[in-house]
Amino acid sequence: MDWTLEYDSTTQTLEAWGADQSATLSLQNQAVGTLTLHFPGMMDADTPFAYKGKVVLRLNEDIVFRGIALEPEREGEGNSEGITIQFVDAWWFLTQGTLTQTIYDKGQSAAARTGTLTSGSATVTVGSTTGLVVGMTVAGTGIPLDATISALGSGEFTLSVHATADGEQSLRFLTGTPSTLYAVFARLRLGSGVVRSTIAQTLSDIITACDVHHAGGVMQFGACHGDAFSLLPQPVDVQGTFETAMRTALGFAPDAIPVLNYATDPPTFDFYQRAAAEAQSVAFGDQQVMISQQIHERRDLLVSGVRIIYHRFLTDGTPATSIDSAGDSSGPGVIQVEMQLYAPTSPPRVVPAVVETQWLKTVPTIEDDTDWWFKNAELGVKTKDDITIDTGTPKIGLDPDAPENEGITGTDLDDVSGCDKRIVEGSIPAWLSDTAHLRYIRVGAFLNLTIWNDPDDEAKGKRKVKRRIILKFAATDLGTNLYENTVVAERVEGGTYDPENPPAGVAAAILAAQSVLQFQGSIQLTDDDCAVTFKPGQVLNVTGAEQEAWAAMDAQIQTVTHQIHLGTTVISFGPAEHLAPQDYLEIMRRLMRWKPALDLAARADDTTSGGGGDGAIHHPSTQVRFGITQADNVLEQKDVDSMGSIERVTVSGKEVWSDGTTTITVDCSGKVISIVGAESKQVLIDLDDLPASAVAKFRLQEFCEGGVTYTAYVLMTAPTVV
């Protein structure tokens, strides 16, 4: 019989891989299963197994282990050197990474809108897909739980599942964000709030989440065998690894053991309670098989009776005592437990409402009003009367350069969702996101402006300028107001809750569990090959012994260790260590007094239960980028002198001077291009006739005559030295 190891599509014996005779396979209940191989030789040698490389261990073609390689341990002492590599099974992944649960935050949602559904179809028609992104969760009538947007089209999107209703429906869109908390025994689902989970469903969720966390292909959920897995325990917030959550879930099925099925890829987790576990037998006295055994009857765990004393309170607050007993509670071997139950609450008191507020100041966007442009743009004009707006402008739409509008193109940029008010102060609160919107928009227009050289002295002339102005800013559809949101409504606390009553049947449940004789010990088997059919989670019986009770002891196997080359298997079995009476009490007490874990409802759909003294939930507000960004281009400019007799018009890179009689055109460098006289006479100046050092330009000259100073525009060249 051959042991082989497969790695990277190569299958060969352990010896062919270079391993010595010390190979060990150890499988444990609720712990990492390991395959340990030692490679003698130089401790600095290369190893054929990469970190996290997948391996499969087989015995005669049957898969008995599936795992990944960890980093090698290199050791050397004197002349002895070597490398040890440990391969770990899927439980190792449960110890790597923090379990998180998706929480839906309305502050990250797109606007609610009406969608047209067709039952059995994944296509949803909407008026606009603005703000929608692939991966968003969709909720509404006819939308299955956990449905998301898988693709976006023009005026429609595709669901990840088929709709279950027809016609127009109101839909909500939310983006999930991970939380470092996970509510065991509860699922937070958009549109339905808190959904209580059975132990089986919780185990499935944990395994699925772990597989997703590690990019898939490391584990999968199989099935649960036993009545306890259908229980609905109290939801509990767990903060820690996937392993922590797994142990918490299994605490409510205390005799349950997870079993890894290595034959599947990825390995499958199955869970068995003692009564549903597969039974394995070994024949006592078969010297070829059983070479040592230790079997102890745990009569010290047997009880003849259970007596629970509850210290409780009557409705009026008077202390009282109740006793729950089962079996012979007066003799030896009695478990006696005392438990303090809750007293009635304090007298009723009014707890005021918790209200959060948000101040928001906005100003209307009236893009076709010159007064709006005068107040919001930097134009350099004196009054709004110095502004005229070209016909056909302005135009308003989403700013394509804003990061918030990334991916929006075409006609979708025209949809500003009624956001016609510029945000001056404040933010958009998350609790208004269903009815309010935040958009980053731009407004563009062609403006004809009159700009005075001296606003206080119009006699000094003016300029006529035509400019294309673009303003960009944050806008909303909310008006100026102090908005309020009631986080927790006014309520009455205390005085309405009865004292905790003793749970019924606890003593009988403990007696039933503790009155069955438990067996504990270990058995070592040896043969040509290891007894790989024995696995943690099975129950063990020993037949052929004078102790007839061993044949039906159903002792749970906790650990199986194989010395591969020796053909030796050591099986450790015994009762679960977490079946103490106090644990049973706490478990049953939780089942009777079910309450949601902290703020589960609020985490699921942005509401709050308002009870339990958990306090208010304060929602974050969307951060707004304030201010106006302005961009403009000068399309045409006309200067008028103080006498109003000579105009200079700048257009297309040329200057045109005119006094109404003569027009002179000058290029961008100041060279004269042409002169047109009053009688349609035109004088063309050949620029090549002018020396480079004597460029003709208009110059402002001052001269004095009769004690009066005059200014004149004169076409002249620069003086030359003679």
Pairing verdict, β 568-573 and 519-526: antiparallel
Alpha helices in 550-625 (DSSP H): 581-592, 600-605
What is the torsion angle, in degrees rounded to the nearest 10, for the CA atoms of residue 49, residue 50, residue 51 and residue 52? -80
CA distance 604 to 176: 10
Encode pLDDT of 406-455 as tens digits.
Answer: 888 888 888 887 888 888 888 887 777 666 788 888 898 888 888 888 88
Encode pLDDT of 641-662 as tens digits.
Answer: 544 455 555 655 566 666 666 6
CA 703 to chain centre: 79
CA distance 274 to 536: 11
- For 321, the token pair is 């005592």
- Least confident among 161-165, 305-309, 485-489: 485-489
Q: Judge whether 330 and 346 are in contact, CB under 8 Å.
A: no
Alpha helices in 68-179 (DSSP H): 91-94
Write down the pLDDT at residue 595: 40
- For the chain, helix (H) and strand (E) counts, in that order, are 8, 51
CA distance 368 to 386: 15
**Does residue 718 register a pLDDT over 90?**
no
Question: Residue 451, SS3?
Answer: strand
Rounded to the nearest 10 degrees, what angle do helices 242-250 and 199-213 cross at?
Answer: 170
Write down the pLDDT at residue 617: 33
Q: Judge whether 472 and 648 are in contact, CB under 8 Å.
A: no
Write down the pLDDT at residue 702: 65
CA distance 194 to 600: 6
CA distance 396 to 403: 18
Give the confidence band of 673 by pLDDT, cuts at 50, 70, 90. Answer: low
Write down the pLDDT at residue 190: 52
Question: Residue 95, SS3?
Answer: coil
Burial class (CB in 10 A: 0-12, 13-18, 19+), 163: buried
Ranked by mean pLDDT, the top range of 184-188, 296-300, 600-604, 618-622 is 296-300
Write down the pLDDT at residue 427: 80
Encode pLDDT of 71-98 as tens digits.
Answer: 999 988 777 889 999 999 999 999 998 8
CA distance 630 to 471: 5
Give Cα separations from 26 to 29, 273, 278, 429, 528 (angstroms).
10, 21, 20, 56, 18
Question: Residue 130, SS3?
Answer: coil
CA distance 43 to 337: 58
Give the confidence band of 66 by pLDDT, cuts at 50, 70, 90. Answer: very high
- For 32, the token pair is 């990492």
Pairing verdict, β 10-13 and 3-7: antiparallel
**Does residue 57 register a pLDDT over 90?**
yes
% residues pLDDT > 70 (the chain): 69
Write down the pLDDT at residue 9: 93
**Does residue 681 register a pLDDT over 80?**
no
**Does residue 606 register a pLDDT over 90?**
no
DSSP 504: S
SS (H, E, C) 185-231: CEEEECCCEEEECCHHHHHHHHHHHHHHHCCCCCCEEEEEECHHHHC
Give Cα separations from 480 to 277, 359, 420 (angstroms).
68, 8, 12
Give Cα separations from 633 to 305, 390, 466, 467 (angstroms).
94, 15, 9, 6
Q: Judge whether 540 and 551 are in contact, CB under 8 Å.
A: no
% residues pLDDT > 90 (the chain): 22
Ranked by mean pLDDT, the top range of 8-12, 98-102, 675-679 is 8-12
User: For the chain, how are helix, strand and coil distributed in percent, rounded to 5?
Assistant: 15, 45, 40
Write down the pLDDT at residue 712: 61
Pairing verdict, β 334-340 and 305-313: parallel
Encode pLDDT of 16-47 as tens digits.
Answer: 999 999 999 999 988 999 999 999 987 888 88
> Which residues share a beta bridge with 559?
28, 572
Position with higher pLDDT, 648 vs 285:
285
Residue with tokens 């090549």, as numbered in its chain: 688
Overall average pLDDT of the 247-276 stretch: 88
Contacts (Cβ under 8 Å, ≥6 apart) of 218: 90, 93, 210, 211, 266
Question: Residue 557, SS3?
Answer: strand
CA distance 188 to 689: 86
Position with higher pLDDT, 391 vs 163:
163
Contacts (Cβ under 8 Å, ≥6 apart) of 62: 263, 532
Overall average pLDDT of the 293-304 stretch: 82
Q: What rounded mean pLDDT belongs to the chain?
A: 78
Position 13, amino acid: T
Residue from 179, 227, 235 nearest 202 by CA:
235
- For 640, the token pair is 């008028």
Residue with tokens 């549903």, as numbered in its chain: 276
Where residue 431 falls (left for φ over 0; alpha for ψ -120 to 50; beta otherwise) is: alpha
Position 125, amino acid: T
